[in-house]
Structure 1
Amino acid sequence: MDVFLESGYREQYNNCYDESLKLFQCDYEEQYLHTTYGKTYVLQFGDRTKPPLVLLHGMTMSSVMWYPNVKAWTEHYAVYAIDIIGDIGKSMASEVILQKEEAVDWLKETVDQLGLKRFLLAGHSIGGYISLRFSLAYQDRVEKLALFAPAAAFHRLHWRFFYYSFPGLLFQTEKWVDRAFRSLSAEGLPFAPGYREFILAGYHHALPRLRLYPLRIEPEELVTLKVPVLLMIGELEVIYPAQQAIEYAKQYVPNIQCILVQGANHTFTIERADLVNERTLAFLLNN
């Protein structure tokens, strides 16, 4: 069930993963947690006595995508970055996740094993969708929720997302993977030296086992959400119309703060890291 078809490719990827952790420029601890759905890999940054902040990454980007954000956030929080089970990363699935209920159950098992009773939660893209679904199911567990361009959730996915993204997963060549990530970026390939190579290593001979397809969440569910929410979407978002998604969220989510990031696309958490770090902390720290 591993995303890598041969153990040799898994070893190469893990070595590349370990090397990329230098990008965080801060100390970390790592662990594997055994869940019903397989082994879940967790990175922990900062002082464990501080309030916990849980992070879920975007599809195929792994927890390494948070390298421009974590150092700023650990000034106030103990940060737990979780590799989503079944996606390209260090987590290793034993079951294929198809339904939202399974994704929520996997996350609950993971945070339970971490001993996190109540925590702050943030997610990007598919990680944002799972975070929102978890928050709807377990509102007593989530203190605040930060969403960065959550997949679907507030608008169905646009055809352009599939047009640019699927060839990268299908052909797995440098050309097609670069094409996919350029479509998600407002600045070409904005990644730090080493991260692009890490992404390419992830696509090489890998097949994601996460088969969860995110759908727009209906108004009757969203109106029940009592958790304070920060929603940030890039003005040039390719996976759906940014303004329409924001208007939908404003209409139905009771306690939400929305930010349209000017001149940004899907990977703005990396490209506009200073803004994301500042606005996220302002939201999380505001009582």
Structure 2
Amino acid sequence: MRLPLLFAFFVLLTSCADQYRKYKNPPEYITTPAASNAAYFEAYDETLKLWSVSFEELYIPTTNGIAHVIVSGPKNTEPVVLLHGMNASSTMWYPNIESLTKNNRVFAIDFILEAGKSYLYNDIESVEKVTEWYKEVLFALELDSFHLIGASRGGWLAVKLALNDQKKIKSLILLSPAQTFTWIKPSTDLLKNIVRIFSSKEKQMEQSLESMSSNVANINDAYLKQYKLGTELESENKFITSMQPFSNDELKSLQMPVLVLIGDDDMINEKRTVAIANMLPKGKGEVIQNAGHFLSIDQAETVNQKMLDFLK
């Protein structure tokens, strides 16, 4: 009787040691990319060299395509899931990943409808289908409960997921969430971005970065190159108009701790965002000084410390 029991224990031990082995083989679209994607994937990998901790890349089959997930941090610690901003991809977390992985296992998911390493092969028809896709990925990762961090559009999606399944999400951190608490306020920067639509792509990109970051020089050149290449790729991100602020009743129904951080020069949010966050049952809102919409890069050290303190 002892031999079968020992064998069963060995199988269990080895399977737990590498539970994601079946997701580690890069698919063909990565190993032999189309010409239109080759330069972008190369730039993505260059940015990943900024990832100051070890990581694994997973490729998870889903109903609508393949989800690319970067996994870092010590095993058997509380999981943290990262949802990046629009056109940013998971590599946007390069200034934050070392801090976030000190005490947590971190899962950064590339959004399937835009540039990144996720791959769409079945159309997603609605925002509800987007949240179903995320749930499918989280189910494959076997995450029963986790902390959720979302930046910009990822912040809106994080709240959408939390409202759909509150029991699994232990806490929410929202970094300048777009269209989540309030409508995007009219501003000079917003007007400049609209006017620059008729300018060259280079001018559009320059203006976009200047309006989103308080100090563009802080952004690493490798990431800038990837970001620019990503904006030139075709995107299926057609649900941006569906992103409307959540009602007060919806926001106040969130029962988990919620931290909301915005920059003092944030084109997407205003101080009212912080006021609403502070009215949530377990909410806390703060303004980060000398930061724009890209506050996780503009003031990485400050944002990292506030996220770590909150996760504790």
Q: Is 1:200 aligned to residue 228 of structure 2? A: yes
More displaced 10-residue stretch of structure 1: 211-220 or 163-172: 163-172
Stretch of structure 1 that moved more, 148-157 or 174-183: 174-183
The alignment status of 1:230 with 2:287, answered yes or no, reads no
Q: Is the 8 A contact 2:275 2:285 kept in 1?
A: no
CA drift at 1:187: 1.4
SS in 2 for 1:194: helix
1:59 is paired with a residue whose SS is coil
Q: 1:209 aligns with which of 217, 236, 243?
A: 236
Structure 2: where are the runs of 5+ without partners?
1-28
State how far apart, in whole Å, the 1-side matches of 2:196 and 2:231 are: 8
Report if the CA contact (8 A) 2:89-2:111 is conserved: yes
Structure 1, unpaired ranges of 5+: none
User: C-alpha distance in 2, partners of 1:93/1:274?
Assistant: 35
Question: In structure 1, the residue corresponding to 2:77 is in which secondary structure?
Answer: coil
Of 121, 132, 145, which aligns to 1:105?
132
| Distance of 2:228 and 2:78 partners within structure 1 | 34
Question: For residues 264 and 133 of structure 1, do their structure 2 counterparts lie closer, same or farther at Cα, with a shift above 3 Å needed?
Answer: same
* 2:158 counterpart residue number: 131
RMSD, aligned α-carbons: 2.2
Cα gap change, 1:170 to 1:11, in 2 (>3 Å): farther
Please say if 1:183 is aligned against 2:224.
no
The alpha carbon displacement at 1:158 in A equals: 3.1
Conservation of the 8 A alpha-carbon contact between 1:169 and 1:203: no
For 2:89 and 2:192, the matched residues in 1 are separated by 19
1:39 deviates by 1.2
- Out of 164-173 and 71-80, give the one that drifted further: 164-173
Are residues 96 and 244 of structure 1, via their aligned partners in 2, closer, same or farther at CA, if it must alter by over 3 Å?
A: farther
> Using the alignment, how far apart are the partners of 1:98 and 1:245 within structure 2?
30
- Normalising to structure 1: TM-score of the pair? 0.90
Could you tell me which residue of structure 2 aligns to residue 56 of structure 1? 83
2:218 alignment partner, SS class:
coil
Under a length normalisation based on structure 2, what TM-score does the superposition of the two structures give?
0.83
State percent identity of aligned pairs. Answer: 31
Task: Give the secondary structure class of the aligned counterpart of 2:307.
Answer: helix
Deviations 1:221-269 (A, max 9, x none): 11211011010011111023x2012222333x21101111122110010
Match of 1:74 in 2: 101
**Matched residue, 2:271:** 243
**Contact 1:83-1:91 within 8 A present in 2 as well:** yes
Structure having the higher Rg: 2
Q: Offset of 1:71 from its aligned partner? A: 0.8
- Give the match for residue 179 of structure 2: 152
- 1:129-159 per-residue CA deviation (whole Å, 9 max, x = no partner) reads 1011101110011011100001111001234
